[in-house]
Structure formats: C-alpha cells, structure tokens
A and B are shown apart, each in its own frame.
Chain A
Amino acid sequence: MPKKDHYVIIGNGPAGNSAADAFRANDKDARVTIISDEAFSFFYRHKLPQFVAGNIGEDDLKVRPYSVYKEQNIRLRLGQCVDRIDPEEKILYLRHMEKVGYTKLVIATGGSPRILPSLTSFEKHLRFMTGYNNAIKLMPEIQKAKTITILGGDLISFELVKALRTMKKKIFFIFYSKCFWPVELTGNMSAKICANMKKKNIEAYADDTVETLTEKGNLYTLKTASGRTFKSDLVCCFLGLVPNIGYIIGSGIDTERGVLVNEFMQTNYKDIYACGDCAQIYDPKLKDYWISIGWSNAGLQGKIAAMNLLGSSKVVKPLPKSIRDVVGIKIQTSWWDHF
C-alpha cells in the first residue's frame, strides 16, 4: 500500500490555515499537519491589544475552535518550534529534537517584530506583541504598569493605545512616522495623528528617536535625540513586521527579505511553497518583488500555495487596497480590511 502524502504547514496564521483547508478539501486521504511555535490556537492578531488589556478573553481571540481541526482530520502541533529545514531530505528539525518528514511543505510563518537597527542594542528592554506567546507574557506587565512608553510605527500600536486608554494608563507615544509600517504616511498625516492623540490626553511626539534606554529597578528611562526624557514602567515597540525566516537561512531555500517565491508561490524547491507575510513574491508583470501584508492576502495566498502544490497553476495577485481609519486619519491599505 503506498504511503500517504504528508502535507506539512509551518505556521498557524491565516495563510497556514487556509492552506490546510485547501489541502484537506482536495485530498481527503493525505496527512495534513500544522506546526506552530505559538502555544495557542489560530487567533485574531488585531484583537491582541484588547486581550492584553483584559477587555476580552481567550475565547474571543480564537478564529475557530479545535473541533474544526478534529473534524477535518488536520493535526495541530502547537508550541513546537521548527529549528531547521532540510529540503534535500524533506525533513523538519524541531527544537525538541524531533524530526518530521514531509512530502509537501508550506512555509507560512508570518512576520516577527521589526526592530530598527538603531534599537537593536536596547532590544532586551523592549516588549513586542506579534503573537499570542509574547502577548501572554506582556499581559501581567501591562496590568501592573502605570506608565507605558510606546514606540509606535504601525497600526497595532494605535490599537494598543485605544486599549490602554480604557485602563487609564499614562501613555507616552513616540511616533515613528517616517518608517511607518506597512504604508508610507504622506503630507501632514503624521502631524494630524499626533494632534488627534494629544486631544485624547496622550503625550505623542512625532519623529523623535531613542538615544538611550536604561533600566533601573524596573523603571525604564528613555532619552530621545531631541533631548526628551521619559520614565516609564514598560517600553513597548510596534514598528511592524519583517518576514520570519531566520530558521530558513542557510537551508538552501532562497531568501532575501523573505522566502523568495515565484508568482505561483513556489520556492526554488518544487515541493516547498511559501505564502503570507513571510513570502517575497516575484511578479513578472511588475518585474519586481513584493511582500504581502495582511490577513486577506495571507488567506488567499495560503489557498493558492496549497492548490498549486496539488497541481494547479494559479497566479497570486495582491488584493486591492482599502481605506482604514487611524486615529481620525484615513490610511489606504489592504491590511486588516477583512475585519
């Protein structure tokens, strides 16, 4: 009896789940496994600020219950980290020393926090919130903190501000408008955003940068290039995401900013595809590469990657942009428009 195919998806976000669903829908017999280092089920990332603020519970975060995976016979391996891929042998090396073989692989590991080079030396003092793992660590610290400094440079930083206001926290907001992610702020948008925040009693400063950040007795002192000093109980950094590909580098799978894939989401290995925020996609019409951003794009790409792995030849295209309201300012983005 021939051995069943084993489709493995690394990543339990929208791209990974969409790929798993497509695999199962088109191949009833194959083994489908999702491996994720997050110790929590598929969740809505945009709800994390409200979650850490204690305004919603874990159940509200979940996109779908575990029973769905059981019904679809998709194996979920949560809290398990892939350390390395051997594409020649088709083996994944997990951190807990287990080896997992696959016949087809989808890489959908999303993004990790973007840390500006100027902030790397202060990394140990910064808190991030890109997933459940770091959100759950941050939660008690946020509850305890009275004053919080936010290095804000993405949409989720504004969501956190909203959530913290409900908790009556004192907030300092250093607005990195010049390296805002994922869209570029134009004209006087940054000034308007700052002004709107100040109206809501948030100390917001645009285009200042961290000069030093020190910790003494759980109190963080942050000094900026313009000479301002902020003392707070917590410093959170939200400057967007970069493709999470550290474990792939050196494996033989081509990477640049992200995992390099063609318009069919295929890497330089025929049985390995990448999709979502971790993929850097070559567009033959554009004659350039683009990195997908956002939930809807990720979902669509996950489905296309799985279908193409099963024999289709669908070409991926970015979804049209839509408008989003950010602290009273309209920003055009295809990110998060699904909600």
Chain B
Amino acid sequence: MKEKDFYFNKEQGHARAIKIIKEVRFSEDSRDYGYMAENVPCQDGCPAITNIPGYIRCISEERFGRSYELNRMYNIFPGVLGRICSRPCEKRCRHGEADLGEPVNICHLKRSAADLKSSWHRIKENLYAPTGYKIAVVGAGPAGLASAHELATLGHKVTVFEAMEQPGGMLMHGIPEFRLPRDILDLEIKNILRLGVDLELGVEIGKRTSLKSLLKDYDAVITATGCMNAFSANLPGEDLDGVYSGLDFMMRVNNGERPKVGKEVAVIGGGFTAIDCSRMAIRLGASKVSVNLRRTEENMRIDEHEKNEAKFEKIRIYGLVRPVRITGKNGRVKSMTMERTRLIYTPEPPFRKAVPIENSEFTIPVDSVIIAIGQYPETGFIDTKIKLDGHRIWTSSDSYRTSVKKLYAAGDCVTGATDVINAVANGRQAAQEVDEFLIRRKRKKRIVRFEASAPSDRKRSDDFIPQVKLPVLDRNSRFKKITNEVELGYDHESAFKEAKRCYLCNLKFEIDVDRCIYCSACIDVAPRDCIKLIRDVEVKKDGSYGDYEETTNWRNVVAIAIDNKRCIRCGKCVEACPMDCISVTKVELIEQDLEA
C-alpha cells in the first residue's frame, strides 16, 4: 500500500479514517514475519497463532460474539481453553515485562468472550466445497477433534473413532469438572460434529477394527490417540491398595467413581495432573494433601494461578524430595519413605537436575499415594510396521507424516504429553497437511496482513489498571460438590476493564521519515520513551528490525522512529504531528484462503 492510502485527515476526524480502512496488503516477506514475532509476542507465543490483540480489542468494544469467533478460527475450543489453557501467551505479554506490571489475563478474557456472548450467537464456519475424500481420525481428544473440524471445513468426509464411550479425550476424562464444566465441553464438541463429522464411540482400534483396514478404507488416517498410559515410578510398594496413577485416578473420578483416599495423601509429580489429583483428593475427604517434587516449586510446569488455587485449598507443596519406597500393612499403603535431593547444574535444558542425597531418608505416614509423573502414548494398536521415537510416533521433521503411507499423527502421541492448546494447534496443522496431500496443493497459508487503522483510543491511565482478578468460589462452597466450578468468570465490567489493559501490540505506529520535518512534536507528547532519535538500527537475520541505537546528538540522527515495543497506542503522536506523517496500521498474522 502506498503512503497516501494511509493518509489520515484530522479535520475530517474518525469517520474519514474509517472510510480509508478498505485497502489491505498481504505479505510473505520474512521481515514481516520477524516483525510479528518481535512486536506481537502474545500471538507468537500461542501455538495456535490465535489473534489475541484482535479478540481482546473486540471485548473492549463489547463485541463478545466476534471475539469468540476470532478465537474459534484457530482454536476450536475457546470456552474450554478459556478455563484450562496453559497460557503460553501470557508469559510473552508485554505487560508482564519488567516494570510494566502483570500480564493481561488473556485466558480469562478468552473465557469471558465465551461466557458473555449471546446465547443465540451465530457460529461462523468457512466451508469449502465437498471433495469426496474420506478421512478417518483415531481419537476424539483435542487434537483429533481439532483435525476433524478442520478437515470437515475443508470439505472432506470425516469419521472419528474413539475408544471411550464419550468424546473429549483428556478434556473429558483427565481434567476435573471443577476446572472444566462438562456442559461447556459438550457444547463445543457438538459444534464440531454439526459439520457432519461422524463420531463412532467405543471403537477401540485393534479390536473392533484395525488400523490396516482404516488405511485401506479411507483416503488418509490421522492418529491422535494422545498419551493415555501413565509412567510408573518403579517404586517398591507401588502395587499396594491406595496407590494410584494420576491419570487412572482422574479417569475414575471423572467416570463417577469415588476412590478411597483416606486423610493423608501424598501426590508425586508437579504437572497439571498432579495438581488436579491433589485438589480432587481434598474434595474426596482428605485433610492433609502434599504435592512432592524432585526439584522445586519454581521449576513446576504449571502456572502460578494453579499453584495458588492449590495452596488456597490447603495443599502443601514440598520441593527437593524423592520417593524411595511405599510400605503397607495388610495390602494397604501405610507410609512412604522419601529422600532429600539437591539441585545440580546441567548444560542442557532444563539446566537443573535433582540428585538424591545419600542417607537422607525420612518416612511420612500416608493413606494413599498418587503418582502423577507423566504419561506416554499407546502404540499397541498400530498393526503395521511404523517408525517410533521412543514411546512416541515418529513424524518427519516439520510434518505430521508418519513412516506409513497415508498415515498422519498429531498431538500428544507425537509430542509426548504437552497441553491442550498445543494439541489443538497440532490437530489443525495435521489436517491441513492431509488436505494438501489429497488436493495436491496448499489451500491455506499463514501470511501477514496489513490494514490501515484509526489511532486507538487507549489512555496512558489504562497502563496502570491493576490486573483484574478472576472471582472464585469461597473454599467451603468449592467442596460442597466436587463438580462445583471454582472459577466464576468475569462479568461485563471486569472483562471490559481487563481488556483495556492490552497494549494492542498489533497496531503498528510508523513515522514516514521522508515527510518528517524532525520537529520533535511527537517526542514532546509521547507519554513514555516510545519515540526515539536513532542513529542506527539492528537488522536481524530475517531482515526485520531489532533494537534501535539511540542518540541525543542531532548531528547523528538518521531518523525519528517509533519503538512499537514501548508504544502504548495512545495516538498522541498522531494528533501532534503537523505533517500527518505518522501512520497506524493493523498488522495481523492470519491464515489466508488461497482458493479465494
């Protein structure tokens, strides 16, 4: 787009600007991808590349339905992931950088869009013409359902085979209802199935049908069977009554059983499953629950929010301990012996390893032990020669293709146990690869989209709005019924307030140096050090600009530049510029439809 197309006439105001927002430009230039990764870090951090600033902006405009749909374009479970996402985006949010406060509660906002949209909200699907191809998806977990949805929108006939009696995989069987109400999950699964996806429940591949026959009957098969086998800790006494594997424990509870846990429960492991088990044990009547880690709390893979909720429910987290053996009486667990560990440095990530301290054993009384140290995939159903990567299914690099023709794999069965947002992203990408294999061309492509925009109406005071905490149930109400959802969600006002905190990093403010008269008017009105006199700029490997080298000596100034990593999108510079040489562009990483 040419500069003049961005021209914003202040006298004619906002309406004039809106009128100009018609022309868009698309780019596949590596510099623009580099710009996105550097300047819109939340979207770059999201495995599903959801348009986070876009859907947050919709919330601040109280367009909850549009916000939900923007999310659903890339993440088929906005309501679900608004509750249980591991939030890689929030770790990258600029608001969380040093001196800028706490990250925007992106996950809670995602949930608010799902909760607060109209009940009669219109689901938007970008449907392609039917192709006549038949595809089987093995596993109705998040990766399988995400790939089924993507394949169905691409016009293929999809059948999902699920070994359990209910779809959802770990979402349905692994995550407790107090974190994820099942009506939310059911609704979002139904919305997938409405596209004509056939779901065959209770069909275990290898028993009622075989993978070989699926490969024969279908044009392609995606296996997304997750990680449903729990690792054993190989402890003496692990076979005693009262010793559970974390996954088995959660599955039994989610299927309506109430395993006997007693009063004192020790959980081994520090992931989401371990914390879920500990919180569930409290709900099942335990009074003293501990989570035991080989390393330290700092190294846990879960977010602070989950840790704090567990602590609020009186769960103790002990670091630097390692189980040695479990002992019992009359076949039932009675105590567990642990030993102390210390951290040593390792050159490879995660850089710290816990090593046991000799002769540091101690014993604690326990009524039950829950071992939640991870899961691995089941590959026994694969009745054809296939290349494996340890326990996992091997796929060729940057691809979802396995060593078997027509067989693709996605989600935890490839990556090992990760999180739901990664599984969803994987499922979609695998589906697009299958589509490319069948259609013999790419029909969707990630691309950077530029669109002229009006300056935002953010205020400097918005930067100082403290993070809006999500209301939660008080402790007693949580335990009245084990399915009571703990997090209550934002109301309109809270969602609006939290959304206003977003820096809207997808708005790119740029000075046209050819027209700039170096009057410094923009620098004078800038609320912080976001506009810089520069003498040089770092150019990265992909050609995108990195950090600016500033100067205070006018003789050395080569340009005045807006540092979009420091910009708060207040628009003051645009108002102040006498030459109208500051443009505002909405920059988004999107999936472009190549059939259009």
Contact = CB atoms under 8 A, between A and B. Distances in A.
A and B part of one assembly: yes
Given A117-B313, A117-B314, A282 B342 contact: yes
Interface string B333-347: 000000010110100
Contacts of B98: 83-84, 93
Contacts of A257: 319
A118 B298 contact: no
Interface on chain A toward B: helix, strand, loop, or mixed SS? mixed
Interface stretch (B235-243, B352-360, B533-541): B352-360
Interface string B292-309: 000011100000000010
Nearest to B295: A256
B37 interface: no
Given A256-B319, A256-B320, A289-B340, A117 B298 contact: no
Given A84-B98, A254-B352, A268-B345, A249 B312 contact: no
A288 interface: yes
Contact of A256 (B297, B358, B475): B297
Contacts of A249: 298
A287 interface: yes
A117 B311 contact: yes
Interface in B67-107: 98-99
Nearest to B475: A118
Contacts of B340: 287-289
B283 to A, nearest CB: 16
A293 B340 CA distance: 21
Contacts of A250: 298
A118 B343 contact: no
A275 interface: no
A258 B313 CA distance: 22
B269 to A, nearest CB: 17
Interface residues on B, range: 20 to 34
Contacts of B475: 118
A255 B296 contact: yes
A214 to B, nearest CB: 12
Nearest to A257: B319
Interface string A246-271: 00011000111100100000001000
B542 interface: no
A288 B319 CA distance: 12
Contacts of A84: 98
A133 B342 CA distance: 36
A151 to B, nearest CB: 16
B343 to A, nearest CB: 5
Contacts of B593: none
Contacts of A255: 296, 298
Interface in B452-475: 474-475
B296 A256 contact: yes
A94 to B, nearest CB: 10
Contacts of A117: 311-314
Contact of A287 (B99, B313, B357): B357
B357 A118 contact: no
Given A83-B98, A289-B320, A118 B360 contact: no
Contacts of A256: 296-298, 319-320
A120 interface: yes
Nearest to B319: A256
Interface string B391-434: 00000000000000000000000000000000000000000000
Contacts of A312: none
Given A249-B298, A254-B352, A260-B343, A287 B312 contact: no
B312 A120 contact: yes
B359 A121 contact: no
A59 to B, nearest CB: 36
Contacts of B343: 254, 260, 268
A121 B474 contact: yes
A68 interface: no
Given A118-B312, A256-B319, A287 B359 contact: yes
Contacts of B474: 121, 212
Interface in A112-132: 117-118, 120-121
A84 B358 CA distance: 35
A105 B314 CA distance: 35
Point out which of A257, A287, A289 has the most chain B C-beta atoms below 10 A from its C-beta: A287
Point out which of A120, A256, A257 has the most chain B C-beta atoms below 10 A from its C-beta: A256
Interface string B201-222: 0000000000000000000000
A97 interface: yes
Contact of A97 (B99, B314, B319, B476): B99
Contacts of B320: 256, 289
Point out which of B320, B359, B474, B476 has the most chain A C-beta atoms below 10 A from its C-beta: B320
Interface in B344-373: 345, 352, 357-360
Contacts of A260: 296, 343
5 contacts: A83-B99, A117-B312, A120-B308, A212-B474, A289-B320
Given A83-B99, A120-B308, A121-B312, 16 more contacts: A95-B99, A117-B313, A117-B314, A118-B475, A250-B298, A254-B298, A255-B296, A256-B296, A256-B320, A260-B296, A268-B343, A287-B357, A287-B358, A287-B359, A287-B360, A289-B320
Closest CB pairs A-B (n = 10): A287-B360, A117-B311, A256-B296, A256-B319, A117-B312, A287-B357, A254-B343, A249-B298, A288-B340, A256-B320
Interface of B: 98-99, 296-298, 308, 311-314, 319-320, 340, 342-343, 345, 352, 357-360, 474-476
